[in-house]
Structure 1
Amino acid sequence: MFGIALAASAALATPVAGALGYRRIRQARNARLMRIDTQNGIDERGFVRIGGLDHWISIRGEDLGNPVMLEIHGGPGASNAPYGARTRAWEKHFTIVRWDMRGTSKTLGRTGVDGQGELSFDRLYQDALEVTRHALARLGVDQVILVANSFGSVFGLRLARRHPELYSAYVGTDQNINDGVLDDSVRQALLARLRAAGKSKDVAVVERMGPDRTAWTAEQFSAYAKLVVTSDPLTFDTMKTVVVRSLLFSPLHSLRDVKYFFKGMKLSEQIVPATAAFDDWADGTTFDLPFFIFQGDQDVLTAPELAKRFFDDVQAPVKDFALIRGAAHFASFRQPEQFLDLMLTKVRPVVTGRRSVAVG
C-alpha cells in the first residue's frame, strides 16, 4: 500500500541506548535460522544491473528443483528482504527471489538518491520485467510464480495480464484493487474509526482530502496511510511487531540499511499519485494464467471485500480466493504459516501438476 513511511516511523519505538546488544543477539539467532546448507540449495545475494542501475536481488531456497517464486514488494519502497527469518519455512518448498526496487532500501543505498534515475511507475514496471527475465535466465526455468503484495500488486496485475508467458501463476496478497476512484469504503471506514476515537482534527484532515484520490498529492497519500495504519490496532501492531522488528533484527541489514529502508519509503511516495486513476476492471479481468488472491481477513488498507469483488469478475484457467485469518495488512508476513499452507495446497499443485505437499 502507498505511503507507509510515516506510520512505520511512528511504530519505531525501540530505544537506541541499551538495545544494540539485544539487536546483535537477535540478528545472530536469525542468521543461524536462515542458513541454507542443503546440497542443491542456493543462497545468493548481491547487485545486478537492471534498467541501467544496480539493483539488490537475493535468491534463496533449499532445493533448486522447487518452483521459483518472484516477489514484487509493496510500499512503494518497502523491501521484503527483512522478512527472511519469518519466511524461512517457505524456502523448503520454493526458491524465493526478492528484489529491492529502484528507490528502495539496499538499491537506494548503493548509489544514493541522485543515482536512482527515473522514479516512475512505468520505469519500475520495466524493471520488474527485466528482473523476471534475469531470474528465468539465472535459474534456468521457463516461468516463475509471481507473488505481489500491497502496492507491488498494482504492478503484479499488469505483469500478469500482459505477460502470462513469463509466469506460471499470479498470487496477490494485500491485493490493491483500483476502480477509477469509485469505491470510497476504505476512507469512510477510516472516518468512522477516527470519529469513534474522538479524533476531530484527523477527521477534518481526511474530509478536506475528499473522495477523489486523483486530486491528492503524494504528501496527502502519505498522511492518509499513516492515519489508516495508526487508527487500527491490529494494523499498527503488525507494523511494530512484524515490519519494524523484522527490519531491526534482520541479519542482512546494517543500521545504515535501516536508515535507507525508511528513506526509500519516503522517496518512493512520489510514484503513487500517477496510479490513483487506474481502473483494474477497465484494464481487463481476463488472465491467461492461474490466478489467486490471499487476503488478510481484517485488512483495513486493502479491503478484502473489494479484492473479492474483483476476483469474482476474473476469468482465468484456475482461480481461488482465500482469507488469511487473524491478519490485517502484511498478511503473508503476519501469518507466514497460513500463507505457506495456501501456497502448498492451492498454488504449488497447479504449477507442478502434483499433489499438495504437507507443511513441515
Structure 2
Amino acid sequence: MMKSLLGFVAAAFAALLVTAPAQAQGDDAYAPARAIVADLNRIVTPNGVQETFIATLGGAKQVVNVRGADRGNPILLFVHGGPGAVEMPFAWAFQRPWEDVFTVVQYDQRGAGRSYPLNDPATLAPTMTLDRYRDDAIELIELLQKRYGQRKVVLMGHSWGSFVGLAVALERPDLLHAYVGVGQGIDFREGEKVGMAWTRAKALAAGDRAAVAAIDALAPYPSSGPFTIEQADGWRKYAMPYGSLLYNRPPATTLYFEQPRLSPEYTEADRQAWGKGSAFTVTTLWPRLADVSFARTQALDIPIVFLLGRHDYTVPSPVAAAWFAKARAPSKTLVWFEHSAHMPMVEEPGLFFAALLRDVLPLTEDRP
C-alpha cells in the first residue's frame, strides 16, 4: 500500500497486501524477518522510550506509537497522510535515525489503520472534518507533553496530514516550536488542477491518448461539481507511473508497498483493518475537503520548514512553494529534494535526516 498518498489508492494497495500470493503462506512466513527488524530497531538506551498505547481524542480511540533514545529530546509528532494512509507500518524503514535526536510519535488517525476497529464507523463518520482532525492532534500534543514531561514539540505534517498540521500551527502556535510540512498541501482544488494538468501533459507527450481522454472526461472536476474520491483516483492512476508519488519508481517496478509485511507494529489483522479504514476514511472525508484552502493565510507565529520533493505531483510541490514564498513567519526554510516526489523521507533518507538536523532541530532551542 502507498504510504501517505491522498488516500484513495491507500485502500487499493491495502487490498493488495492482504490478497497477494505471498499471503497464502500465512502471516508466519514473515515472522522471522519481522523479528529481525524489531530487534534491530529496539530502543535499549537507559532513558529511551518505546511504547504503543490507545488515546481517546475527541471521543475516538486512536493508536499511538512512541519511540526515542532519550525522553529528554524534543517530541516530533508525525501527522500521516491519506486521508487514511497510515505511516506507522512504514516507519521502521526510515525513522530510526530520527529517534536518536527526537522522541518520534506516530498515530493512526480516527478511522484509519489500527484505530479503525476501535470505533463504530457510523458514529465516527459525522465527526470526520478537518477541524476535528486538527483538534485531535492538539489533544494529542497536550497529552504527550504531560506524559513525557516535555514542552518542546515539532509538528510534521505529510500530504493530507500537512493540512491538519498547518491548521494546528495556526490554531495553537503556543504548543509548537516549529511546523514542518512534507508533501505540503495548500488548496485542494488548486492542487488537483495542477496535478491533473501535469499528468495530462505527460500522457500527451507519451502519446497515451486513452489517458488524455480519461483525464479530460473528469471535467468539470475539480473546478465544480461533486468532489469524489473516484474522480481523484481517475487521474492519479495515470500520474503514478510518471513518478508523481515515487520519483523514477513506477508502482509496477517496486516492492515498496510490501514494507508493512515486515513491520513489527502491524499484524495481518492490522493490515486488513488498514484497508477497510482507508476505504471508509477517503469515501467519507474527501467530499468534505473540496473548499479547504490556506491560500489566503499569510502569516504564522512559529518557524516553518517545508521539505518538498521536486517531482511531487501527488500533492503538487509548486503550489506549496508559491505559497511559501509569500508567507510570513519568525523564520522559514524551504528544502528541495531533487530526486524525490511525494516521499522524500524514503526516497532521499540521508538528505532528509540531514535537513532535520540542520534546519529543524536547532529551532527547538529558540524557546525555553
Q: Deviations over 1:18-69 (max 9, x none)?
A: 5855522321111112211110000110211111121101111000111110
Q: Map of 1:42-61 to 2, 5 A cutoff?
A: 42-61=49-68
Q: Deviations over 1:234-276 (max 9, x none)?
A: 4583767575222111011111111111222211112123222
Equivalent residue for 2:133?
A: 124
Equivalent residue for 1:217?
A: 228
Greater Cα shift, 21-30 or 39-48? 21-30
- Looking at structure 1, the residues matched to 45 and 153 of structure 2 have their Cα atoms a distance apart, in angstroms, of 22
Q: Match for 2:45 among 30, 38, 48?
A: 38
Shift of 1:142: 2.4
Equivalent residue for 1:358?
A: none
Count residues with an aligned counterpart: 353
Shift of 1:78: 1.0
The answer (yes or no) to whether the contact 2:243–2:311 under 8 Å persists in 1 is no
The answer (yes or no) to whether the contact 1:242–1:333 under 8 Å persists in 2 is no
Q: Deviations over 1:304-335 (max 9, x none)?
A: 22221111011111110011232111221333
- Looking at structure 2, the residues matched to 228 and 11 of structure 1 have their Cα atoms a distance apart, in angstroms, of 19
Output the TM-score relative to the length of structure 1.
Answer: 0.89
Equivalent residue for 1:95?
A: 103
Equivalent residue for 1:65?
A: 72
Supply the RMSD in Å over aligned alpha carbons. Answer: 2.6
- Looking at structure 2, the residues matched to 238 and 105 of structure 1 have their Cα atoms a distance apart, in angstroms, of 25
Give aligned-pair identity as a percent. 28
SS of residue in 2 equivalent to 1:16: helix
Shift of 1:112: 5.5
- Looking at structure 1, the residues matched to 38 and 179 of structure 2 have their Cα atoms a distance apart, in angstroms, of 30
Greater Cα shift, 175-184 or 330-339? 175-184
The question of 1:191 aligning with 2:200 is answered yes
Greater Cα shift, 240-249 or 259-268? 240-249
- Looking at structure 2, the residues matched to 211 and 219 of structure 1 have their Cα atoms a distance apart, in angstroms, of 14
Alignment CA distance shift 1:144-1:90 (3 Å): same
- Moved runs in structure 1, 4+ residues, more than 4 A? 9-14, 18-22, 238-243
Equivalent residue for 1:104?
A: 112
Q: Unmatched 5+ residue regions in structure 1?
A: 355-360
Q: Unmatched 5+ residue regions in structure 2?
A: none
SS of residue in 1 equivalent to 2:22: coil
- Looking at structure 2, the residues matched to 144 and 238 of structure 1 have their Cα atoms a distance apart, in angstroms, of 35
Alignment CA distance shift 1:336-1:14 (3 Å): farther
